[in-house]
Amino acid sequence: MSRFSQACVALLALTFSGTPLVHAQFPFSSDRDLPRVDPRPQTRAEARHAEALTLYSVGLLHERANRLVQAVKTLEEARDLDSDAAPIHKALVSLYLALDRGDDALAASKRVLDLTPGDAESWYLYARQLKARDKTRASVAALIRGTACPCLKDMPELHMQMGFDLGVLCESIKEDDKALAAFKQVVTILENPEPLMEDGAATREDIDSQTCDLYERMAKLCLRDKKFDEATRYFAKARDKAQDTQPGRAKRICFNLALVLHAKGDFAGALKPLDEYLRSQPSDMEPYKLLIQILGALDRNKDVAPALEGYSRADANNESLKLLLADELFKAKETKRAEDIYRDLAKNRSLPEAYKGLVKIAKGKGRSGAEAILTELDATLGTNRDEDGEIRAEADALHARAMIAALREDGEMVGQLLPIAVSRLGSRDNALKPSTRYFLAALAGRTKQLDNTEKLYRSCLDDLTQGNAPRAGEPEIYGGLLRVLWTGHKYAEIEKVCRIGLDKAQVTDRTMFQLDLARALMLQGKMKEAVAAANAAVDVSRAENLLLCRRSRAAILAQAEQYEPAIADCLAMLKESTKESDIREIRYTLSNVYSLAKQMAKSEEQLEIILKSDPDDATACNDLGYLWADQNKNLPEAEKLIRKALELERKQKTSGSLVTVDSDQDNAAYLDSLGWVLFRRGKLKEARELLEKASVLDLGLDDPVVWDHLGDVYQRQNETKRATTAWKKALDLYTVAHRRPKDDRFKEIQQKLKLVEQQSHAH
């Protein structure tokens, strides 16, 4: 049984409990229930009537014995005999709900209301069923009909509940006037509570609390509709109602009252109730921030700090209030006083916010401030690390954690610290401790100071290889240094670091080294060594990384023109895999292998299989469209697919709450694909715009394919000089920067440049 059904059964049980069956609310004459001899034979209608009464009574007995299915069957038989008997339908409603027969319950409720439109209980139950079906407006209409029933004058509890539910529903659909009217009905009942207190179910305190709740709710409704005078009046009523029994609540209502007056523009009037609330020493900072706003609106900014100081003295243990006071002192250029408060909170409470304040002040002092922060960081981190490199558990370690939290969110200060930290590398007297250098290196990646970041990581690696640093941080140091080197496209350096790791690392997974080594060797054109490293990655891989390693090996084998083993391994992976996501990734790899092997039909087939399973796979849309464009076929369909890929990625980047640094930028590869297909279709102007846009994005700037395509567009537009510049850029990215392994495209670019040079000499 659902919770809703249980509630309905409980509600309707009142209709029957304690009522003799023969005296149930049923449309029979009372004398008909008395034993007597009727000389006149029963008519057919009377006989059906009597049988229905009997079945109705039996059905109720079944229900009370919890034989619900039998009760329903019996009552349905009674209903079929006398369809105008409202109690039968009413009894069926509760049973249908108990058995989760919602449609039947709703139909039975409608029939009850057709027969007895003045039955408030049935209107309430009907409204609740409609609400459960998300038919809010229909539920509102039912409650309006129900609350108008005269019988409710003798049923104050039901009247109050129906009125409250009506107000809440109207509030949810922004019909504030109706909501306010409904709440007023409830307040009228609560302000005359004697009938509610007769059976002892409610106390005066309970009723006063509910009344206070309702006044607050009504005030907020008025505030939403900018009815400031009414909102003020209702908040005042709520405060008065809570004054004697709930003084703390009365104080809080004063804050609401201040909010209304502030919204109304009565800033001076808002100060009195706000001060009354602030004297209760709230822990929340919103009231204090409201005070700052009000004083600012009254052109009394100079009074902000003294006011906060007064409240802070009265509430000496309120750390948040002290932080707010320090912030305001800093804004008022009372830096020394602000720093004293920040430093006291940092020393005695180890608050990250206090360290953030100190960092903020240090930034204003330039290099000297940054040096002071660095010295304090080194002293704190250096003395609070155990032999495994972890921050100690002692109380002093809280300072280290607080400083880390403060700096982690302040890229500007990290940017100021890095050059100073690097300048102290190798210093005997002023050297930074290993833990400090590692922490700064980990943060430095956010500043794009790649050289300084690399130097810090290398100093940490030197400590590791020389045995001067704990091994616990080894994977992070190797991983961080490799990330920096990949960002800088330093493939030869990546190779060296990976070989050092393979030789000397003790607690780092070898898979990372072998995979990065294989990629770096491939991009340097060392194909034989790259294949060997890829094989080694597969050999040392753990089960969770094995598929990734095999896919990487297949890609490297294809780059080394070893197509048959690459294809064979991909096909084997497809047979072995069961997860849909794994199968999709394998098909991507296989499609790329087929493409490199010039087996275009098979490459397209893999992408078409992916799109058959998921037509909204952006990567497959782009790749298939690009393959067609590169072969100069299916160009209209190719353009549609690539535009779809772009649109899908735009939606993915802009939907949800996650915001990234490139969420407003298109994918450079997709722009290149679209520019290329438009070039193939002769739409040179639009193709040029897209390719030029792709060439300035991070992932397009260093991609030789983008520059090759752009050179082709320039050449077609008879801008040979620009075409030559673009092709030379592409060639440099192949030869000098090693952004891609040399392939057929590399040879084609060489041919195009040679042809341009020949034509230039001919002229």
400: nearest Cα among 350, 364, 338: 350
Task: Give the least confident one: 19-28, 459-468, 602-611, 615-624.
Answer: 19-28
Task: Give the least confident one: 147-156, 291-300, 404-413, 486-495.
Answer: 404-413
173: nearest Cα among 226, 212, 134, 200: 134
CA 21/CA 6 separation, integer angstroms: 23
The alpha helices in 505-617, defined as continuous H runs, are 510-523, 527-540, 543-559, 563-576, 580-596, 600-613
**138 close to 129: Cβ distance less than 8 angstroms:** no
CA 257/CA 231 separation, integer angstroms: 8
Residue 3 has pLDDT above 80, yes or no: no
**539 close to 555: Cβ distance less than 8 angstroms:** no
Give me the residue label for tokens 């039912």: 142
Backbone angles phi, psi at 391, to 5 degrees: -65, 135
Please tell me the CATH code under which domain 203-280 is placed.
1.25.40.10
CA 138/CA 127 separation, integer angstroms: 7
Average pLDDT over residues 628-637: 94
**458 close to 494: Cβ distance less than 8 angstroms:** no
Average pLDDT over residues 612-629: 95
**38 close to 51: Cβ distance less than 8 angstroms:** no
Average pLDDT over residues 416-421: 89
| Cα dist from 417 to 372, 385, 391, 493, whole Å | 10, 21, 21, 25
- pLDDT single digits (tens) 679-725: 999 999 999 999 999 999 878 888 899 999 999 999 999 999 999 99
Give the list of residues 6+ apart from residue 685 with CB closer than 8 angstroms, or none.
none
CA 180/CA 167 separation, integer angstroms: 7
Q: Return the SS3 of 721.
A: helix
What is the SS3 string spanning 420-443? HHHHCCCCCCCCCCHHHHHHHHHH
- In this prediction, residue 207 carries a pLDDT of 84
Average model confidence (pLDDT) across the chain: 85
Among 55-59, 428-432, 681-685, the range of highest mean pLDDT = 681-685
Average pLDDT over residues 253-273: 88
Residue type at position 466: Q
- In this prediction, residue 24 carries a pLDDT of 39
- In this prediction, residue 32 carries a pLDDT of 43
Residue 13 has pLDDT above 70, yes or no: no
- pLDDT single digits (tens) 345-390: 988 877 889 889 999 999 888 899 988 888 888 887 755 445 554 5
Q: Which residues pair with 391 in a beta bridge?
A: 385
Residue type at position 751: Q
CA 753/CA 97 separation, integer angstroms: 81
CA 736/CA 261 separation, integer angstroms: 69
Average pLDDT over residues 21-38: 42
68: nearest Cα among 22, 1, 137, 124: 1
DSSP state of 385: B
Give the list of residues 6+ apart from residue 623 with CB closer than 8 angstroms, or none.
588, 591, 607
- pLDDT single digits (tens) 98-133: 999 999 999 999 999 999 999 999 999 999 999 999
The alpha helices in 315-366, defined as continuous H runs, are 319-331, 335-349, 352-364
Residue type at position 38: D
Q: Encoding tokens for residue 360?
A: 């903020």
Give the list of residues 6+ apart from residue 257 with CB closer than 8 angstroms, or none.
232, 235, 236, 239, 270, 273
Give the list of residues 6+ apart from residue 14 with CB closer than 8 angstroms, or none.
none
Q: Higher pLDDT residue, 620 or 31?
A: 620
Apex 527 CA angle, 594 and 746, nearest 5 = 65
Encode 566-604: b = buried (16+ Cβ within 10 Å), e = exposed.
bbebbeebeeeeeeeebbbbbbbbbbbbbbbbeebeebb
| Cα dist from 248 to 235, 681, 760, whole Å | 15, 75, 90
270: nearest Cα among 287, 284, 250, 246: 287
The pTM for the full model equals: 0.61
- pLDDT single digits (tens) 515-529: 999 999 998 989 999
- In this prediction, residue 570 carries a pLDDT of 96
Q: Which residues pair with 433 in a beta bridge?
A: none
**143 close to 166: Cβ distance less than 8 angstroms:** yes
Task: Give the least confident one: 251-260, 290-299, 745-754.
Answer: 251-260
Among 36-50, 176-190, 253-267, 619-633, the range of highest mean pLDDT = 619-633
Q: Is the dihedral of CA 440, 441, 442, 445 positive or negative?
A: positive
Apex 278 CA angle, 275 and 282, nearest 5 = 165
Q: What percent of the chain has pLDDT over 70?
A: 90
Q: What percent of the chain has pLDDT over 90?
A: 51
- In this prediction, residue 664 carries a pLDDT of 57
Residue 580 has pLDDT above 90, yes or no: yes
Q: Encoding tokens for residue 298?
A: 């009254």
